[in-house]
Amino acid sequence: MANQRLIIAVLLLSIIPVLGFGSTVYVMGTRIIESEIDRSSRLALGQMKDQVDQLLGQTEQLSGQLAMQANVGEIMNLGSSPLLGALPQSNVLRGDLSSLVGSYPALHSAYLFHNAQNVVITSQTITDAGERQLFPDQSWLPAVREAARQHKMNFWMAPRQVPDSTGKERSVITYVKLLPLFYTEMHGALVINIDTQSIAEMVKSFPLHTSGGMLVLSDSYEPIVQAGSYSRVNAQDLNRVVETVQAADSSDRSPKLKLKDQTMFLTIEKSSKNNWTYAMLIPADQPSRHVQQLKEIVISSTILLSLLALLMSFISFNRFQKGIQRISSVLWKSGRTEPEAHTDISLAPYKDNIVRIERGISGLLEEVHEVRGQWKEHLPLLRDHYLQSALLGNGERLGRTSYGESTIGSLFGSSKLIVMAVEMDEVKEGGSFRAGDEKLFQFAVKNIVEELMKDVHPTETVLLHKHVVMILSLPDGSESTAFQAAEMVRDTVKRFLKMTVTIGVGRPVDSFEDLYVSYNDAVQALQLHWFRTGHEVVSYKKGAKLAPKTPPYPAGIEQQIMERIRTSDEGEIREELLLFGEYFQHEQVPFNLLKIYYMQLLVALLRSLQLYDELDRVFPNRNPYSEMMTLDQGSDLSDWFYRELIVPVSRYLDQWKKSRTNEIVSHAFAFIEQHYSRDLSLAMVADHFQVSTSYISQVFKEKTGETFIQYVTRFRIEKVKAMLLQTELTISQIAEEIGYSNAQQLIRVFKKLEEITPGEYRSRASAE
């Protein structure tokens, strides 16, 4: 009985530490998860803030570059005439605006406003700024005029609603740069609209895969972007968020905020660039959800211990011992079940109780096995989260944990580490992948990398942002080995997926905590290599052999080529193009960079054609950009450029000039016939046709063999001869009709050409 009481006391007393330990672990677990939510939220907010600041800075740079273009300056210097719609520079600017918006997915639209003519040039049209039907976006105009009054150079408007032709509105952030630069009097403005949806799409996920929400507030606390599950916060909740943001400090730990439907954690981050506020909302019940299983285990253990203590009140120590032995044999599946004949008859009254205990413990073990299975199932996700955190700069903190230390050793040992970032190149027509298939493509590349590197180098892969990140463990830390691995991945992806990638390679690092340094190098290599044509491996180094120094672009040779094209001299064009190629051959420019330079020459060539607005006639059903991208050798590039571009353009311009010359001569003849009686001059005709006097003079000389004055004089004398024969007008009257100041001038000019006077000409004609 003493033993029985002792066991009962021990069982009852054991409930106290179980409850105490379980409660402590539950509270600590909840706080740890709350801390992780706060840390992850701040990390996500910081990354988003940096991305938005980068987007805004890039927009300001683009507007500055566009404002300094020659055609923009020419348009801004115009007054109320000539009309912008009649100028070729306006069509060129429309193309520039279209290219700008098309090249940056975050941009919604871009306009150029001309103040003197009250005209707006967009990528689609040229229209009056007050024409609401063709140009419904009017809300920025008052702000521009007010900014000009205050003599501002530029400003942001956020948020702003832009209506389309159907009346639907879209939220945008607008950047306005007043022109000209450093103006004293505003001539116009460049307006660039950023789609707020592109900022909302930067939020890929929320901490611990929760259904959170994201808010971006302006400096006046107006909502600019609302993303996530709470993308449309009601007015009452929004006011509570704004009040909390105004009162809170961004360095404080995430406070709890009670909204209409539920309580939320609110994490705040402010931008020093524009004073915008970034706020993340995470449901406050998320920490308790993640430790709910621990809570259930503590409660189950307490109930089980209570039942055991209660059971001991009815059975003796001896019987309890035999029951425990029987339960143990069942749990450990010893298979040595005692026959019924050996069962103590005294256990019969307690048999049902022991069976129930057996079933309860068996169920508890099954639950433990199930939890272990779930743990193993989530190990890959935990591993990815661990690697992502290390790449983003949290490797030192993770390495201090027991899981981090064991994982570092199991993944990489003591080798040097190199990070590579694999980025999908631009999608081309007819390829295996289309726009929007980025996630599918990244998953396929990840599988290819894992299979390729499985027996070559210890490698870990993880998807981070828009990159497939490879972490290579190299015993010698050789960069050449890393580049060989990158080249193998690049070629294999193209062979199997029919799609090209560009791979950025970071520097070797000695420790897992420095992994983010190599990752940043790899990403920066991709960003700095903005002129890439794709399907290449780029290094983090600048000026090294792996990333050779870029020679300057031969702008002088390009100008000579353009001049020869205008004169349509194919022989001289060929010579200048050979000089263009020999320059790069002397500089030992790699083919990928050579293709970029030829692409720049192609842009200059097409830009000159845009002045005539005849691209479709020169290249019917062709895309020169796509054709150039298929070439694989420098010699092919030069020959193709001359044969497929220079020759058609030169011949077209030659035909165009001849046609234009004939057209001008024909119209000039008609103009002279209509106005011969006036004081005609070469400048008057040139102004009428908007060409130079030298051009008109040259055209007349080529077509008639005479100068302009000689042709007009001969035309007038022919009119005089007709009037002498067909009318009875006097010489003075005829001189006045023809445009001569007096009869003596007419007689002098007539005698010089016909070698007789007008009177003698009339007399001879009458005599005949």
Closest CA to 91 of 109, 71, 68: 71
Name the amino acid, one letter, at 689: F
pLDDT of residue 346: 47
pLDDT of residue 453: 86
- Its sign, for the CA torsion 230, 232, 236, 241, is positive
The CA-CA-CA angle for residues 86, 90, 96, to 5°, reads: 160
Cis, bond preceding 283 (omega within 30 deg of 0): no
Q: Residues with Cβ < 8 Å from 734, sequence gap 6 or more? A: 720, 723, 724, 727, 746, 758
Q: Cβ of 246: how many Cβ atoms within 10 Å? A: 10
Name the amino acid, one letter, at 139: S
Separation CA 750–CA 491 (nearest Å): 84
Separation CA 535–CA 492 (nearest Å): 11
Structure letter (DSSP) for residue 339: P
Q: Where are the alpha helices (DSSP H) in 1-159?
A: 2-67, 70-76, 88-103, 141-149
pLDDT of residue 636: 73
pLDDT of residue 489: 92
Name the amino acid, one letter, at 535: H
The CATH class given to the 413-539 domain equals: alpha beta
Separation CA 641–CA 603 (nearest Å): 12
* Cβ atoms of residues 419 and 514 within 8 Å: no
Q: Helices 731-738 & 758-767, crossing angle to 10 degrees?
A: 110
Q: Residues with Cβ < 8 Å from 622, sequence gap 6 or more? A: none
Closest CA to 25 of 390, 291, 352, 364: 291
Q: Residues with Cβ < 8 Å from 310, sequence gap 6 or more? A: none
Separation CA 629–CA 637 (nearest Å): 10
Radius of gyration of the chain (CA): 42
Q: Along the chain (768 residues), what's the average pLDDT of each consecutive run of 10 residues?
A: 62 66 68 72 78 85 81 84 79 84 84 90 84 82 90 87 78 91 84 88 70 80 78 71 71 66 78 82 67 67 67 54 61 47 47 67 72 61 74 60 52 75 82 80 91 85 88 80 89 88 90 84 77 75 48 82 78 84 78 76 76 66 75 73 82 80 83 81 82 82 84 88 88 86 86 88 82
Residue tagged 């845009």 (tokens): 610
Residue tagged 């611990």 (tokens): 208
DSSP helix/strand/coil, 225 = strand
pLDDT of residue 336: 45
492-529 pLDDT per residue, tens: 998 888 888 999 999 898 888 888 888 888 888 887 76
Burial 300-328 (b: 16+ CB within 10 A, else e): ebbebbeebbebbeebeeebbebbeebbe
Q: Where are the alpha helices (DSSP H) in 538-646?
A: 555-567, 570-586, 591-610, 615-618, 624-629, 634-640
DSSP helix/strand/coil, 171 = strand
Q: Which structure tokens are listed for 96?
A: 């520039």
Name the amino acid, one letter, at 135: F
Cis, bond preceding 207 (omega within 30 deg of 0): no
Q: Does domain 676-767 have CATH number 1.10.600.10?
A: no
Separation CA 4–CA 310 (nearest Å): 11
Judged on CB neighbours under 10 Å (0-12, 13-18, 19+), 511 is: middle
Q: Residues with Cβ < 8 Å from 696, sequence gap 6 or more? A: 664, 668, 682, 685, 686, 689, 708
* Cβ atoms of residues 296 and 304 within 8 Å: no
Separation CA 87–CA 104 (nearest Å): 27
Inter-residue long-range contacts of 223-227, CB under 8 Å, 24+ positions, other chains counted? 223/159, 224/158, 224/159, 224/171, 224/173, 224/196, 224/199, 224/276, 225/171, 225/196, 225/199, 225/200, 226/200, 227/199, 227/200, 227/201, 227/203
Closest CA to 652 of 609, 710, 714, 590: 609
* Cβ atoms of residues 577 and 563 within 8 Å: no
- Its sign, for the CA torsion 408, 394, 57, 125, is positive
292-330 pLDDT per residue, tens: 666 677 677 767 766 666 665 555 445 555 656 666 665
Burial 20-46 (b: 16+ CB within 10 A, else e): eebeeebeebbeebbeebbbbbbbbbe
pLDDT of residue 495: 87
Q: Cβ of 712: how many Cβ atoms within 10 Å? A: 20
pLDDT of residue 545: 39
Q: What are phi and psi of 646, to 5 degrees?
A: -65, -50
275-290 pLDDT per residue, tens: 888 888 877 776 556 5
Burial 461-494 (b: 16+ CB within 10 A, else e): bbebbebbbbbbbbeebebebbbebbeebbeebe
CATH superfamily of 200-290: PAS domain (3.30.450.20)
Q: Which residues pair with 317 in a beta bridge?
A: none
Closest CA to 301 of 364, 343, 244: 364
So where are the chain's domains?
A: 200-290, 413-539, 555-658, 676-767
- The helix (run of H) or strand (run of E) holding residue 107 is strand 107-114
